[in-house]
Amino acid sequence: MQIASQLAVVCRDIHKTYVTGSTRTAALRGVELEVRAGELLMLVGPSGCGKTTLISVMAGILNQDQGDCRVFGENLLAMRATQRTRFRGQNVGFVFQAHNLLPALTARENAAVPLLILGVKRAEALRRAEHFLELVGIPEKAHVRPAQLSGGQQQRVAIARALVHSPRLIVCDEPTSALDHVTGQKVIELLRQVALDGERALVIVTHDQRIFPYANRIAAMDDGRIEHIAEQTPLAVSQSLARPLEP
Amino acid sequence: MNRIALQMLTGDRAKYAGIIMGIAFASLLITQQMSIFVGLMTRTFSTISDLGQAEIWVTDPKVQFIDDVKPLAETKLLRVRGVNGVEWAVPLYKGLLKARLPSGAFQTCNVMGLDDATLIGGPPEMVAGTIQDLRRAEGVIVDEVGARTRLAKPPARPGEPATPLTVGDTLELNDQRAVVVGICRVSRTFQSQPVIYTTYSRARRFAPRERKQLSFILAKAKPGVDPAELCARIEADTGLSAFQARDFQFKTVRYYLKYTGIPINFGMSVVLGFLVGTAIAGQTFYNFTLENLRQFGALKAMGASTWSILRMILLQALFVGLVGYGIGIGLAALFGRATRGTELAFRMLPQLLGITALAVVLICILASMLSILKVIRLEPAIVFKS
């Protein structure tokens, strides 16, 4: 029980096959993986190896065909759709490769979206969103729309949005792939510094080898399976983070 | 979430304008065409509605509508007067007679011959002179629009506008002299001919000789007598048809609906407006949803239920529907105001606003249906697809 309480996600023998017409593509073929609370786990591997499918299953936005996936002890597959949606809203934060910010909303409003979905009053949601924008270093951009922000700044808004409702699991899909080296490094440092605490787990799917040193563990996937998991001491977050990213 | 939905909608100005334009166009076309249709239908029975004093119209049984005059024998008037419950019954002449104008041209006019004693059935509003002036020798009252247009005197000098017919002017009706003793204001008629009022006996003199010249009998029920029952009694006692004014109006409208192509022509315009509006609004709205599909997917992933996203789409549809409807109705009202007093028949009844609102609701439902289906099937995992 002690071990279970330290585990954020437990995947056992996860299988997922996509069917398009008569074509069947096995994306996951018996994945065994544990994600510990308080760690940054990176999922790496060639394109099409099943990384994105696996985090989709972990985040509860895709049902596996077979196997057991428990997030903080909860079996998502056993939940009703509405329960799963609610669980996701309360416990999972997302950082997408393409940011997926709503273009008509300001940075502050975008960051407040998860709270608004949970039914938090608008004024309170915006106040908390502003706090997180400050935390990610762009308080002055609160009233700016995404189109007027640089890629790095947009990703910072996305990080603020992923954190604003204090989720226990954050899943990130290629958060640095659209960013230049310096900005990408700062974003990953920011994620480590701001997102990780003793109870929160961070799972990042990435191809970007330059950010590998920031992970606690790196799980290498191939052909729908976890090939091996490497444990390491993560790189310390640099002090440069205190300064906001250049636009 | 409602606010987010509206911000998403208005954030894309071009699409927002496109959807609004589609719905506004549909509202305008539907309301305008229906208003013209109603205006035209109202004109078909304007003679009946202008004769407010007449509670009951007694006609030949074969009469199908107000302009379908089948004269009655004079004795029928006495028989109607003898029916129990009739307070009064008066004759009315209605016929098309040729008027010879001072210019020498001829103009067909709608001549109304009123009961000599009571002058019941006179014009609803006098502009010059009084109804009593009809008692003067050879007196006729001419409607204002007719006096200004088709019956107008030739201009004093070439190039100048025609001079309206005024009190004291003369014209010839069927080769007999008539003196204008008054100008009245009447509702426009379907055939748009000038309306001339005179007394019943004078109208008979103007009209070509016929064995029967009594067009209609106008009657009123005694106090406490049900007009519907009195109509039945008149029909039973005289063998004629008797209608309450409202029923005669409906009979006239029904005739035009059944035997003319008017409803089909206007109906097609209304349907076309509806289809074009639905197509424009639907396609633009669907494109808008498609472009925002990833955003909707992100909202779903972040915990928004399918129902709350459907509510967002319905709110967006309702909002563009309301704005488009308001613009369309406003434009239709402006059109009606701009064409007031012209030959164009335009009558925008409150009921038409309701019908257009229903059509717009239907357009919004149809327009958002495809989007709703798309969102229902939307997998939140779409957010991880590049």
* φ, ψ of residue A195 in degrees (nearest 5): -85, -35
Mean pLDDT of chain A: 84
- Min mean pLDDT across A158-167, A198-207, B4-13, B284-293 is at B284-293
> Quick one: B200 exposed, middle or buried, by C-beta within 10 A (0-12, 13-18, 19+)?
buried
| Residue B206 structural domain | 73-239
Q: The tokens 């808004």 sit on which residue?
A: A157
Which tokens belong to B91? 């004759």
Whether A117 sits inside 8 A of B1 (CB atoms) is: yes
Which site among A51, A96, A108, A171 would you substitute to test the B interface, given the most B Cβ atoms closer than 10 Å to its Cβ? A96
Q: Which chain A residues in 101-140 lie under 8 Å from chain B, judged by CB atoms?
A: 102-105, 109, 113-114, 116-118, 122
Q: What is the C-alpha separation between A239 and A73, in angstroms, rounded?
A: 36
In this structure, are residues B302 and B381 in contact, taking their beta carbons and an 8 Å threshold? Answer: no
In 3-state terms, what secondary structure has residue A218? Answer: strand
Interface check for A97 against chain B (CB to CB < 8 A): the answer is yes
Closest among B324, B322, B313, B240 to B277, alpha carbons compared: B324
Token couple for B163: 């001079």
CB atoms within 10 A of CB B196: 26
Q: Looking at the domain assignment, is residue B57 inside a domain?
A: no
* Contact criterion met (CB < 8 Å) for A85 and B294: no
CA-closest candidate to residue B40, choices B357, B275, B271, B269: B269
Specify the amino acid at residue B377: R
Q: Which two tokens stand for residue B209?
A: 């000789």
Report d(CA B126, CA B147) in Å as an integer: 13
Is the per-residue pLDDT at A246 higher than 70?
no
Q: Is B97 in the same domain as B228?
A: yes
**Domain residues of chain A, as ranges?**
37-63+80-241
- Same domain for B285 and B234: no
Out of A78-82, A236-240, B23-27, B252-256, least confident range: A236-240
Specify the range with the lowest mean pLDDT, choosing from A46-50, B111-115, B152-156, B179-183.
B152-156
Task: Please name the member of A90, A96, A116 whose beta carbon is closest to the beta carbon of B383.
Answer: A96
Residue ending a domain, among B205, B239, B273, is B239
Which residue type does B263 have?
A: P
Are B150 and B187 in the same domain?
yes
Question: Do residues B227 and B361 share a domain?
Answer: no
Are A109 and B294 inside 8 Å of each other by CB? no
Examine the domain organization and report whether B6 and B105 are in the same domain: no
Q: Does B2 touch chain A (CB under 8 A)?
A: no
Residue B272 lies in a domain: yes
Contacts of B97 (CB under 8 A, 6+ apart): B108, B109, B111, B173, B174, B196, B206, B207
Q: Is B124 part of any domain?
A: yes
Q: Which pLDDT band, with edges at 50, 70 and 90, does A238 fall under?
A: low
Q: Which two tokens stand for residue A1?
A: 């029980």
Quick one: B197 and B332 in the same domain? no
Same domain, B147 and B21: no
> With bands split at pLDDT 50, 70 and 90, how would you rate the model's confidence at A236?
low
User: Does some domain include residue B63?
Assistant: no
Domain boundary among the residues B209, B239, B269 is at B239
Place of tokens 């989720």: A167
Tell me, yes or no, whether B34 and B79 share the same domain: no
| B289 in any annotated domain | yes
Nearest to A116 by CA among A128, A98, A103, A104: A128
Do residues B18 and B120 share a domain? no
Closest residue in A to B383 (Cα) is A96
Work out the average pLDDT over A20-49: 88
Same domain, B276 and B223: no
CB-based contact, A168 to chain B, within 8 Å? no
Q: What's the mean pLDDT in A10-31?
A: 89
Tokens 């010059």 belong to B128
pTM, rounded to two decimals: 0.73
Whether the predicted pLDDT of B141 surpasses 60: yes
- In the block, tokens 């065994």 appear at A32
Whether CATH 3.40.50.300 fits A37-63+80-241: yes
Q: Are B109 and B97 within 8 A, CB to CB?
A: yes
Give the pLDDT band (50/70/90) at residue A237. low
- Indicate whether B230 and B278 sit together in one domain: no
The beta-carbon neighbor of A105 closest among B4, B301, B308 is B4
* pLDDT attached to residue A240: 44
**Comparing C-alpha atoms, which of A77, A82, A50 is closest to residue A65?**
A77
Q: Is residue B271 part of a domain?
A: yes
Distance of CA A114 to the CA centre of its chain: 14
Max CA distance (Å), chain A: 54
For the segment B241-258, what is each residue's pLDDT rounded down to a tens digit?
999 999 999 999 999 888
**Contact status, residue A207 vs residue A131, Cβ threshold 8 Å:** no
Given a cut of 50, whether residue B39 has pLDDT beyond it is yes
Q: Is B377 on the interface with A (CB under 8 A)?
A: no
The pLDDT, as a whole number, for residue B250 is 92
- CA angle (A99, A101, A105) in 5-degree steps: 160
Which letter does DSSP use for residue A105 in this model? S
Say yes or no to pLDDT of B87 above 70: yes
Which among A86, A102, A174 has CB closest to B4? A102
For residue B34, is pLDDT > 50?
A: yes
Domain count, chain B: 2
Residue in B11, B12, B303 nearest the CB of A89: B303
Q: Are strands B195-199 and B106-114 parallel, antiparallel or unpaired?
A: parallel
What are the DSSP calls for B121-172, one per residue? T--SEEEES-GGGGGSTTEEEEEHHHHHTTTPBPPSSTTSPPBPP-TT-EEE
Chain A contact present for B169, CB below 8 A: no
Q: Is B303 on the interface with A (CB under 8 A)?
A: yes
Who among A94, A104, A161 is closest to B11 (CB)? A104
| Torsion sign (Cα): B63, B68, B69, B70 | negative
| Interchain CB contact of A141 with B (< 8 Å) | no
Q: What is the residue-averaged pLDDT of chain B?
A: 87
Above pLDDT 90, what percent of chain B? 34
Alpha-carbon torsion, ordered A201, A192, A40, A114, to 10 deg: 40
- Name the 3-class secondary structure at B221: strand
Beta-carbon separation of B303 and A88 below 8 A: yes
Please tell me the predicted confidence (pLDDT) of residue A241: 43
